[in-house]
């Protein structure tokens, strides 16, 4: 659970910092305010995928002990985080080139695609671990759970 907490905290800091970078970098380089750059997407990706998702997984871990499926959970954690980092880094790189008026290479798009593949693989592993945890957490068939003041 600790690594989920620390990952969420690190991504919160990175997300806020990337928003600040986006704002200041575009101002310094006189980038037109209404024009699109992927720098703004890095901010939202880091906060949503990096900060909010691990907090949700932390709650699921607390309730269902997802890490009981050690291999699935570890693979989820590392693949997912590699995907968030790779995707966000490519958004920042591509967005910075856009602000500077330079062409972006197809390599950036390919690496960003790899980041999205890692994110998808990580999410699939999360759902496999969650399914396994739900099966272990489910009451036995025919057992009626006790209710308070029934």
Residue 142 placed within a domain: no
Position 145 scores a pLDDT of 57
61, part of any domain: yes
Angle, helix 106-137 to helix 53-64, in steps of 10 degrees: 20
Residue 47: which domain range?
2-136
Q: Which of 73, 108, 81 has the alpha carbon at shortest distance from 94? A: 108
Answer yes or no: is pLDDT of 6 > 90. Answer: yes
Please indicate, yes or no, if residue 113 is contained in any of the structural domains: yes
Q: What is the pLDDT of residues 20-44, one digit of tens each?
A: 999 999 999 999 988 999 999 999 9
Is 140 a residue whose pLDDT tops 80? no
129-139 pLDDT per residue, tens: 999 999 987 76
Q: What is the pLDDT of residues 83-117, one digit of tens each?
A: 999 999 999 999 999 999 999 889 999 999 999 99
Question: Within a domain: residue 130?
Answer: yes
pLDDT of residue 148: 54
Question: In a 10 Å sphere around its CB, with 0-12 CB exposed, 13-18 middle and 19+ buried, how is residue 70 labelled?
Answer: exposed
User: Percent of the chain, pLDDT > 70?
Assistant: 92
Residue 145, domain member (yes or no) = no
Q: In the numeric block, which tokens belong to residue 48? A: 């949503």
Is 27 among the domain residues?
yes
**Max CA-CA distance within the chain?**
69
- How many domains are contained in the chain? 1
């Amino acid at each position: 659970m600790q690594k989920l907490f620390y990952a969420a905290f690190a991504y919160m800091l990175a997300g806020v910092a990337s928003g600040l970078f986006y704002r200041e970098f575009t101002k310094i380089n006189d980038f037109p305010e209404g024009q699109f750059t992927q720098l703004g997407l890095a901010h939202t990706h880091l906060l949503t995928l990096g900060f909010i998702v691990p907090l949700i997984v932390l709650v699921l871990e607390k309730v269902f002990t997802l890490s009981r499926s050690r291999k699935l959970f570890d693979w989820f954690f590392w693949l997912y985080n590699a995907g968030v980092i790779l995707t966000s880094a490519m958004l920042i790189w591509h967005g910075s080139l856009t602000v500077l008026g330079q062409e972006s290479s197809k390599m950036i798009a390919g690496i960003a695609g790899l980041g999205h593949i890692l994110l998808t693989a990580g999410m699939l592993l999360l759902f496999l671990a969650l399914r396994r945890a739900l099966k272990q957490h489910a009451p036995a068939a025919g057992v009626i759970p006790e209710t308070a003041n029934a």
